């Protein structure tokens, strides 16, 4: 099922047919084979032999692919690095492949966020099942989002805001975000999501790292000290000097940090395009990648195309179709606001958020059919994140935007709420109305700002995520038989479709072939000549 | 030779190649991938492998000829070749690559040179055998018969 331009319309019944796969491998032979195999699975395949080209493709059309399969060893970019970028910018599931199946490599893949690691040669049945990674990601993040309402991110934020100067805004905001995402990311599929409390770092199987404000501040200090472009998890870890923290913790936190920064950058850029007067605190200009949340949701009643199975007609997974009505979401938001109230009494803060919440929902009320994620985003965006397209013609939102008096508070709420939405990104949400699909429908921030590209490349050049491949000595015997058999003279290279006679080794062959022709030593003289003898 | 005989020969030759380790299951996977939309799939893939082999073997030769030898560079080529050989199921070639990589890691020049020689040999053998196989296929098809796949 190879629909070139349009998305497959029979997704609902044909799933996983039409899965849009991007394959990256520098070996053209493998690329050809994988393409063939994936097409046999009825997937829609795009191939790339360069990682940089793959990234370009991904950035050009954020929602063009559902999953990425990449080789580990590539000339222009390490596969792990590509993995990181894709995870950071597009949050697509990435499968790594290699002929090298050594444990340390596989572990590295997992640590960098690969959702699977396949060993070459790859079998068809392995490829048939890759859709599970796409689905899992959607479901997983969908579930976690629902459980976030008990989370006191606004309270924490308030704590941090007090007594901190401007430059620590990043710290506070990011810590919030990371608290959310660490709650999110450390769940496995079978967990009960409901009662996880923020701050619970009890000894579960996966020891959870709680990135408190202090810890995050240490982190940021370390990052700034090293220099944002030279930063690496090991260096940060060393500088932070927190004994129980692992490199892996730092690495994942760093990833989120970058994501967060680039999102802020995006927000600022979008703000420039709007007439809103809200300022953002100054941030580190070197923002990797791009991740601003697309705010089509503000006005978008029906379109929720998250990157991932985006089908205008019907989404892949009908996760939250019309479950959440506006009023229900209203409740959710207000409950959260109330929770905030209880924990950290801060009338000012709450008021602002309340105002925003209340305001936000009124325009929504007039629109039908709002999906879950649809609803939540406007909460954050109406007064901070101003999408180029929509808010410019929405006086209501703009007035809301100007309503918020304190820029930093607003932006921090925005960011925290925005961050709240992060788990929601790349969900497979249903697009109810095809006609209202915008050109940038993703909730997730796929729009890559061209001005950020130089930063990204510079960044990746300076980033040392891993060392050389570790080679393990393989104890394989070499069974090498050089049987002296008859001269192998009979192949006539009359195959026009394949110009095999061009190769350096070209025995003359006649018509009839003896059976024991597997081995011959006739033409090794040719071979010897080309050998380097030390 | 009639079609039946040719087909028998082909089957036997394929079986022999499998038995001797020139080819492994990956090759039969490739044959399974061949269909009406890509009737020359296997041959095309094998040709790409031949191209790759030439290039990589030359690279290795050059790299081992430098003074001093950059073993990481050599290893990179060998690793690439290992992946390439895995794509067509060239088991013996792949095995030599594995040994070769060990020598690269220990920076054993003599071992590397020996392995390169072995690689050249294995590649020649494989190429001969595959070309014979394809020749048989061609003859069968010309005579109107169908190609038996590896079981």
Say what the pLDDT of residue A258 is: 82
CA-only gyration radius of chain A, Å = 27
CA distances from A280 to A173, A177, A396 (A): 12, 17, 21
Is B38 exposed, middle or buried, given 0-12, 13-18 or 19+ CB atoms closer than 10 A?
A: middle
Phi, psi of A117 (to 5 degrees): -135, 115
Q: How far is A132 from chain B (nearest CA, A)?
A: 23
Torsion region of A18: left, alpha or beta (phi above 0 gives left; psi -120 to 50 gives alpha): left
Residue with tokens 């990435």: A94
The residue of chain A nearest to residue B18, with distances taken between CA atoms, is A518
d(CA A280, CA B55): 55
Instruction: Establish if B89 touches chain A: CB-CB under 8 angstroms.
Output: yes
Q: How far is A20 from chain B (nearest CA, A)?
A: 20
Q: CA-based angle A20:A24:A29, to the nearest 5? A: 110
Say what the pLDDT of residue A152 is: 43
Q: Report residue A49 as tokens.
A: 């032999």
Do the chains contact at B134 and A495, CB–CB below 8 Å?
A: yes
Contacts of A118 by beta carbon, 8 Å cutoff, 6+ apart: A69, A95, A96, A97, A98, A126
Q: How far is B149 from chain A (nearest CA, A)?
A: 17
pLDDT band at B46 (very low <50, low <70, confident <90, very high): very high
Phi, psi of A449 (to 5 degrees): -80, 125
CA-only gyration radius of chain B, Å = 17
Say what the pLDDT of residue A138 is: 81
Q: How far is A225 from chain B (nearest CA, A)?
A: 33
Q: Where are the domains of chain B?
A: 3-143
Say what the pLDDT of residue A231 is: 81
Do the chains contact at A532 and B116, CB–CB below 8 Å?
A: yes
Assess contact for A491 and A103: CB atoms under 8 A: no
Interface residue of A78, A98, A120, A498 to substitute, partner B, most B CBs within 10 Å: A498
Question: Which residues on A lie below 8 Å from B132 (Cβ)?
Answer: 491, 513, 517
Q: How far is A533 from chain B (nearest CA, A)?
A: 7
Question: Which residues on B lie below 8 Å from A71 (Cβ)?
Answer: 83
Over residues B50-67, mean pLDDT: 94
Assess contact for A404 and A278: CB atoms under 8 A: yes
Do the chains contact at A36 and B38, CB–CB below 8 Å?
A: yes
3-state secondary structure of A258: helix
Is B16 exposed, middle or buried, given 0-12, 13-18 or 19+ CB atoms closer than 10 A?
A: middle
Question: Which residues on B lie below 8 Å from A489 (Cβ)?
Answer: none
Torsion region of A65: left, alpha or beta (phi above 0 gives left; psi -120 to 50 gives alpha): beta
B114-133 residues touching A, CB cutoff 8 A: 116-118, 120-125, 127-129, 131-132
B11-33: per-residue pLDDT in tens? 999 999 999 999 999 999 999 99
Assess contact for A178 and A214: CB atoms under 8 A: no
**Which residues on neighbouring strands pair with residue A96, listed in sequence order?**
A70, A117
Residue from the list A33, A471, A507 with its beta carbon closest to the beta carbon of B101: A471
B37-56 residues touching A, CB cutoff 8 A: 38, 40-41, 43-45, 47-50, 52, 54
Closest C-alpha among A89, A81, A93, A84 to residue A118: A93
Is B86 exposed, middle or buried, given 0-12, 13-18 or 19+ CB atoms closer than 10 A?
A: buried
Residue from the list A33, A71, A527 with its beta carbon closest to the beta carbon of B30: A33
Question: Which residues on B lie below 8 Å from A493 (Cβ)?
Answer: 131
Q: In what order do the strands lie in the sheet with A116-119?
A: A44-48, A20-24, A67-71, A94-98, A116-119
Question: Which residues on A lie below 8 Å from B88 (Cβ)?
Answer: 29
Residue from the list B54, B104, B113 with its beta carbon closest to the beta carbon of A533: B113
CA distances from A209 to A150, A193, A257 (A): 19, 17, 15
Helices assigned H by DSSP within A274-325: none
Domain B3-143 fold: 1.20.120
Three-state SS sequence of A330-399: HHHHHHHHHHHHHHCCCHHHHHHHHHHHHHHHHHHHCCCCCCHHHHHHHHHHCCCCCCCCCHHHCHHHHH
Interface residue of B15, B48, B55, B83 to substitute, partner A, most A CBs within 10 Å: B83
Say what the pLDDT of residue A259 is: 78
d(CA A344, CA A154): 8
Q: What is the distance, to the nearest Å, from the Cα of residue B17 to the centroid of all Cα atoms in its chain?
A: 11
d(CA A21, CA A38): 8
- Side-chain half-sphere CA neighbours of B69 within 13 A: 24
Furthest CA-CA distance within chain A:
95
The residue of chain B nearest to residue A493, with distances taken between CA atoms, is B135
Q: How far is B83 from chain A (nearest CA, A)?
A: 5
Helices assigned H by DSSP within A27-73: 28-40, 51-60
Question: Which residues on A lie below 8 Å from B142 (Cβ)?
Answer: none
Question: Which residues on A lie below 8 Å from B22 (Cβ)?
Answer: 518
Interface residue of A468, A531, A533 to substitute, partner B, most B CBs within 10 Å: A531
Contacts of A184 by beta carbon, 8 Å cutoff, 6+ apart: A141, A144, A145, A148, A422, A423
Do the chains contact at A37 and B16, CB–CB below 8 Å?
A: no
Instruction: Establish if B16 touches chain A: CB-CB under 8 angstroms.
Output: yes
d(CA A210, CA A245): 10
3-state secondary structure of A97: strand
Helices assigned H by DSSP within A2-98: 11-14, 28-40, 51-60, 79-85
- Side-chain half-sphere CA neighbours of A422 within 13 A: 31
B78-98: per-residue pLDDT in tens? 999 999 999 999 999 999 999
Residue from the list B83, B129, B132 with its beta carbon closest to the beta carbon of A30: B83
Is B21 exposed, middle or buried, given 0-12, 13-18 or 19+ CB atoms closer than 10 A?
A: middle
Question: Which residues on A lie below 8 Å from B54 (Cβ)?
Answer: 503-504
Closest C-alpha among A501, A154, A146 to residue A353: A154
Q: Report residue B16 as tokens.
A: 């022999």
Assess contact for A386 and A400: CB atoms under 8 A: no
Residue from the list A99, A124, A498 with its beta carbon closest to the beta carbon of B82: A99
Q: How far is A105 from chain B (nearest CA, A)?
A: 14
Which H helix or E strand runs over B141? helix B109-142
Say what the pLDDT of residue A352 is: 40
Assess contact for A444 and A86: CB atoms under 8 A: no
> Which pLDDT tens digits describe chain A residue by residue (534 residues)?
444 443 444 444 477 888 999 999 999 999 999 999 999 999 999 999 999 999 999 999 878 899 999 999 888 888 898 998 888 888 889 999 999 888 998 999 999 889 999 999 999 989 999 999 988 888 877 665 555 443 344 444 444 555 444 444 455 455 445 544 554 554 444 444 444 444 444 444 455 677 777 788 888 888 888 887 778 888 888 888 888 888 888 888 888 888 777 777 777 777 766 544 444 444 444 444 433 434 433 444 443 333 334 444 443 334 343 444 444 444 444 444 444 444 444 444 444 444 434 444 444 344 444 333 333 334 444 444 444 444 344 444 444 434 434 444 444 444 444 444 444 343 433 334 444 434 444 334 444 444 444 444 444 444 434 333 333 333 333 333 333 333 343 444 334 444 444 444 434 444 444 445 677 644 444 444 444 444
The residue of chain A nearest to residue B31, with distances taken between CA atoms, is A33
């Amino acid at each position: 099922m190879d629909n070139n331009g349009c998305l497959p319309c029979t997704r609902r019944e044909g799933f996983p047919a039409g899965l849009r796969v991007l394959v990256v491998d520098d070996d053209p032979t493998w690329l050809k084979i994988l393409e063939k195999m994936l097409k046999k699975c009825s997937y829609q395949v795009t191939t790339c032999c360069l990682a940089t080209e793959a990234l370009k493709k991904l950035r050009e059309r954020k929602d063009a692919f559902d999953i990425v399969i990449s080789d580990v060893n590539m000339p222009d970019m390490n596969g792990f690095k590509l993995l990181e970028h894709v995870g950071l910018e597009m949050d697509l599931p990435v499968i790594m492949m290699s002929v090298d199946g050594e444990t340390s490599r596989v572990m590295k893949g997992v640590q960098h966020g690969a959702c699977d690691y396949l060993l070459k040669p790859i079998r068809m049945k392995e490829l048939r099942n890759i859709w599970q990674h796409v689905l899992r990601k959607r479901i997983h993040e969908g579930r976690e989002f629902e459980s976030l309402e008990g989370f006191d991110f606004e309270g924490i934020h308030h704590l941090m805001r007090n007594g901190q100067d401007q430059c620590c805004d990043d710290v506070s905001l990011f810590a919030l975000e990371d608290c959310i995402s660490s709650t999110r990311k450390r769940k496995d599929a079978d967990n009960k999501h409901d009662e996880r409390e923020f701050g619970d770092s009890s000894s579960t199987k996966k020891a959870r790292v709680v990135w408190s404000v202090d810890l995050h501040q240490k982190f940021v200090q370390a990052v700034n000290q090293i220099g944002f472009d030279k930063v690496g998890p090991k260096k940060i870890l060393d500088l932070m000097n927190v004994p129980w923290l692992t490199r892996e913790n730092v690495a994942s936190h760093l990833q989120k940090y970058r994501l967060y920064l680039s999102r802020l950058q995006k927000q600022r850029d979008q703000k420039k395009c709007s007439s809103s007067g809200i300022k953002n605190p100054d941030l580190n200009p070197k923002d990797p990648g791009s991740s601003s949340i697309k705010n089509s949701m503000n006005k978008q009643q029906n379109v929720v195309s998250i990157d991932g199975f985006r089908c205008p007609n019907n989404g892949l997974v009908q996760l939250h179709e019309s479950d959440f009505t506006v009023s229900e979401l209203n409740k959710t938001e207000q409950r959260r606001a109330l929770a905030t109230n209880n924990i950290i009494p801060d009338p000012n803060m709450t008021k602002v958020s309340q105002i925003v919440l209340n305001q936000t929902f009124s325009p929504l009320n007039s629109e039908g059919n709002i999906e879950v994620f649809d609803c939540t985003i406007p909460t954050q965006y109406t007064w901070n994140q101003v999408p180029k397209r929509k808010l410019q013609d929405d006086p209501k939102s703009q007035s809301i935007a100007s309503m918020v008096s304190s820029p930093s508070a607003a932006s921090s709420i925005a960011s925290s709420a925005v961050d709240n939405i992060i788990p929601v990104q790349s969900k497979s949400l249903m697009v109810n109305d095809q006609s209202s699909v915008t050109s940038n429908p993703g909730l997730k921030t796929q729009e890559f700002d061209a001005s950020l590209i130089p930063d990204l490349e510079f960044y990746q050049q300076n980033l040392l995520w891993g060392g050389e491949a570790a080679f393990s000595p393989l104890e394989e015997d070499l069974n090498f038989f050089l049987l002296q058999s008859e001269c192998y003279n009979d192949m006539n290279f009359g195959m026009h479709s394949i110009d095999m006679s061009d190769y350096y080794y070209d025995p003359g062959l006649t018509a009839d072939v003896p059976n024991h022709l597997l081995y011959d030593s006739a033409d090794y003289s040719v071979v010897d000549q080309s050998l380097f003898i030390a | 030779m009639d079609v039946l005989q040719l087909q028998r020969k082909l089957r036997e030759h394929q079986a022999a190649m499998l038995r001797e380790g020139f080819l492994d299951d990956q090759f039969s996977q490739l044959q399974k991938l061949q269909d009406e939309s890509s009737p020359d799939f296997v041959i095309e893939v094998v040709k790409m492998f031949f191209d790759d082999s030439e290039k990589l073997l030359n690279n290795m030769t050059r790299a081992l000829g430098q003074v001093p030898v950059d073993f990481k560079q050599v290893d990179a080529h060998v690793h690439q070749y290992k992946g390439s050989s895995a794509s067509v199921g060239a088991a013996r070639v792949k095995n030599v690559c594995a040994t070769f990589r060990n020598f690269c890691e220990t920076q054993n020049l003599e071992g590397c040179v020996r392995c390169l020689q072995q690689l050249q040999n294995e590649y020649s053998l494989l190429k001969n055998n595959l070309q014979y196989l394809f020749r048989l296929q061609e003859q069968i098809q010309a005579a109107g018969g169908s190609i038996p796949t590896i079981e």
